[in-house]
Amino acid sequence: MLPPPHPMPAGLDADDYYRGNISGPTDDQQAWVQAHEHRDTGESEPATGVQTEGEAVIQEARR
């Protein structure tokens, strides 16, 4: 199971999920989660290396 949030499989919706029509994560979903997950560095930095404005404020407050 992939950690939320992540997009639904293409062509399916939440009703399909609750009906049990989704048997597992797709390759596209797995790739999306990998691209958007946070690294375990102790800092609030997205895996992309792009820091959001809110994260910058928090980081500056810690200094």
Helices H / strands E in the chain, number of each: 3, 0
One-letter-per-residue 3-state SS of 23-43? CCCCHHHHHHHHHHCECCCCC
pLDDT tens per residue across span 17-57: 899 998 888 899 888 888 887 655 555 555 555 556 666 66
Measured CA distances, 20 to 12, 13, 16, 24, 29 (Å): 11, 11, 6, 10, 17
pLDDT of residue 37: 75
Q: Would you kindly state where each structural domain of the chain is located, as residue ranges?
A: 14-62
Q: How confident is the model at residue 62 (pLDDT cuts 50, 70, 90)?
A: confident
pLDDT of residue 8: 85
Entry pTM: 0.49
